[in-house]
Chains A and B, each alone.
Chain A
């Protein structure tokens, strides 16, 4: 949990990183409090690694200032401030020495005597359950073991700021499932602030107090993860989050507190509060999370207070969590529903269904000039 009473672990102000004729990172302001974990998600080339390099003081931005623990980074104090940071890369990048010496390396760089450095390193190997490997060479370790050693090595220096670049991507599902809660627990125990860059949304949700969406070098949204998922700020964010249920719609009427929108030749009436800027004839997109869409047979009425859209089943895709049913509404527009296994009668392709969802499941996004609402 963030602690606001102490100095911010990291502050970026007016950061711009440029390559010839192009800005690859543009962050007007970003602050990370002690104990706060920021998950950063973005497509390839969005500037995620550049952001980490700037935060790790490995790359000097063309413009802007970096503050570590409220101290402005200069050429003079860069090494001292870098020693308050630790970073874990996607590859474990262990040194060709024993596991114990690896875990102690950061402390040794800081001039800690060998015996004390190795004692601290051993404690961290114990916390990450790899102390049995202390005397081994990293060459024979499994991917999960090597990752645990590299995490222990990073935590051993008691960093104020921990930077994790796709830390669990290369691991198999079982190793990931075991290691992510351990990493989260140690982050909470030490109170270190952290940035986790990942392209895995589940990982971001499991680790982050905040979720930032980085696209084209800019942060499009930075909010608690559940809020970002429920209320993506823009179409680009929604698409990146894999929200496939984006229904193109048009505002047909705005009266009092209600907004009437048309989806194909069907219409919905929504509370206008969530769409203060939308005017009549505006194109909008409706985000409806597939998990909140229930399917029913057309004559059956929808539960009170729920909305319903009619359509025909276009495609049924089995998934690990059940089934994904794509329902084609009019004019080739598709709404998606996640159906848990065994809890619904089978829906065959071509059968008529009604897709139902509660009013609060709908989030309305204005369509930017360059975006076109459609099914991703």
Chain B
């Protein structure tokens, strides 16, 4: 209990005292995880909608891959991205390993199946007659997909929430591809692991609490967006 109180006091001190290192870590965490979530949305929503609406050979197998991807361990995603970005790897020339972009890529790989799978489920959960109704109202293919996604926006926001939740809280991939370099690729989760290793439990607890506070704030904003009701 004492440790927890010490941690809480330390968290308040770090935040209120304007500790430059801590604020840099918080901002980097947010920037990296929000970018990764955005990338996964840009790719995953169209992909999920296509899988929900189109019928083609191999579709079920592909949906299976997406669902398996939803259980992808972050460490495995980190390893795959490491191998790609390794100096001798296929994307080695881009020199992205141990930069925030490497973490963005790894986290986007983690969030992509989550967003795709949940988009697929939310579009499939719509009344199938809604698609026919939109077509008979004169919707083009693009208008059809846009309005179906609009109708599914509540579960789609759940996809955003789940995707962001998966990446802001993961540590394995960020550690592996980012390297936890102070001032460059250190994020809240990797910093927490480091402080635990050093035996600085009150700092680790403080960082964890800050992480929880950050997550709560972002999720509260998304929830407000989701629960907004038209008159």
CB neighbours of B136 from chain A (8 A): 56, 58, 82, 85-87, 163
In the bound complex, do residue B137 and residue A89 qualify as a contact, i.e. CB atoms below 8 Å apart?
no
| Nearest Cβ on chain B to A311's Cβ, whole angstroms | 49
- Give bound CA distance, A136 to B231, whole Å: 6
Interface residues of B in 9-64 (CB under 8 A from A): none
Please indicate the chain A residues that have their CB under 8 angstroms from the CB of B132 in the complex.
Answer: 53, 56, 58, 87, 89
| Residues of chain A lying within 8 A (CB to CB) of residue B229 | 137
Which stretch in B77-85, B138-146, B204-212 binds the other chain? B138-146
Please judge, given known A-B contacts A96-B150, A137-B230, A137-B231, whether A89 and B138 are in contact too, CB under 8 Å.
no
Q: In the complex, what residues of A have CB within 8 A of residue B153's CB?
A: 96
Chain A positions near chain B (C-beta within 8 angstroms): 53, 56, 58, 79, 82-83, 85-87, 89, 91, 93, 95-98, 105-106, 109-110, 135-137, 153, 157, 163
Q: Assess the A79–B140 pair: CB atoms within 8 A.
A: yes
Interchain nearest-CB distance for B47 vs A (Å): 23
* Distance from B94 Cβ to chain A, minimum over Cβ atoms (Å): 42
Decide if B140 touches A109 in the complex (CB within 8 Å): yes
Bound-state Cα–Cα, A86 to B139, Å: 11
Would you list 5 pairs from A and B whose C-beta atoms are within 8 A, ordered by A residue?
Answer: A58-B136, A87-B132, A87-B133, A95-B150, A137-B229
Closest residue of chain B to A94 (Cβ to Cβ) is B133
With A91-B127, A93-B129 already in contact, the answer to whether A157 and B137 are too (CB < 8 A) is yes
A-B contact number at CB 8 A: 56
Nearest residue, chain A, Cβ from B133:
A93
Report whether A109 and B133 are in contact in the complex, using a CB–CB cutoff of 8 Å.
Answer: no
Find the A residue at minimum CB distance from B136.
A87
Tell me whether B138 and A157 are in contact (CB under 8 A).
yes
Total interface residues on B, CB under 8 Å, equals 19
Q: Which residues of B contact A (CB under 8 A)?
A: 127, 129-130, 132-133, 135-140, 143, 147, 150-151, 153, 229-231
Partner of A89, one of B129, B150, B231: B129
Bound state CA distance, A372 and B179, in angstroms?
86
Decide: A58 near B135, CB < 8 A? Known: A93-B127, A93-B130, A137-B231. yes
Given known A79-B140, A96-B150, contact A135–B127 (CB-CB < 8 A): no
Q: Complex Cα distance A95/B152, Å?
A: 11
Contact between chains at B133 and A83 (CB < 8 Å): no
| Residue in B133, B137, B147, B231 whose CB lies within 8 Å of A135 | B231
Q: Please give, as numbers and ranges, the residues of chain A lying within 8 Å of B129 by CB-CB distance.
A: 89, 91, 93
Contact across chains for A96 and B151 when beta carbons are under 8 A apart: yes
Within 8 Å CB of B135, what residues of A?
56, 58, 82
Which are the 7 A-B pairs with shortest beta-carbon distances?
A87-B136, A83-B138, A93-B133, A109-B138, A106-B137, A137-B230, A109-B139
C-alpha gap A136/B139 in the complex (Å): 23
CA distance A105 to B230 in the complex (A): 17
Assess the B139–A97 pair: CB atoms within 8 A.
no
Which chain A residue lies CB-closest to B141? Answer: A79
